[in-house]
Amino acid sequence: MSQLKGIELFIDVFMLLDKANPEGVNKQELIKECQARKLTTDQLDEWLKPFPTDTIDMATFCRHLGFDLNSMRLEETERAKSREESDQTVANDIEVISTTMSVAKQIDITEKFKDLVKKIGTDASKLNTIPEQLKAYMDEKYLPGWQVIMLEGSYWMQFSHEPLTSLQFRYDSLICLVWRTPMN
């Protein structure tokens, strides 16, 4: 998995601590763990501003930062599973270029992509249906708002996305880029 940074690293640390303390995460413990992972005091102060208490539960965390509680709980479960099953990985024929997703989501999405490529083939007149069908699958399974680009060759990108929802990978000659944008 790509190195998480900024708010995504903050969320990942919160999830790690929340999984160990379901009654809520101690704010000082969260700060200490985030600083150990090189997040700056300025960043932490900004993100922790909405939380007046010393303990932060997942519902409060999501409400104050604008995240969907069910999506975050699923993400937390997937990340915990990935930590426990460290041998879990995408297939050997997939090259992950960059990602912030849990390994479980990476596997699911890359396998769906491979299935679509095998089913539809590489006839140029039909290739447009692969991103269309992958987007429909992801919108249904992981909430709406997904963007899907499929291309061949070099690319350069800069984009914004919801935290922990970005994946760029190569399968054969095809490159697939997916991310979810906020729906509000």
Whether the CB-CB separation of 113 and 176 falls below 8 Å is answered with: yes
pLDDT of residue 182: 76
Give me the residues of the chain with pLDDT under 50, please: 1
Tell me the pTM.
0.80
Question: What DSSP string describes 6-40?
Answer: HHHHHHHHHHHHHHH-TT-EEHHHHHHHHHHTT--
CATH numeric code, 94-180: 3.30.740.10
- CB burial of 19-38 (b: ≥16 within 10 Å; e: otherwise) equals eeeeebbebeebbebbeeee
pLDDT of residue 153: 84
Per domain, the residue ranges of the chain are 6-84, 94-180
pLDDT of residue 184: 61
pLDDT of residue 1: 43
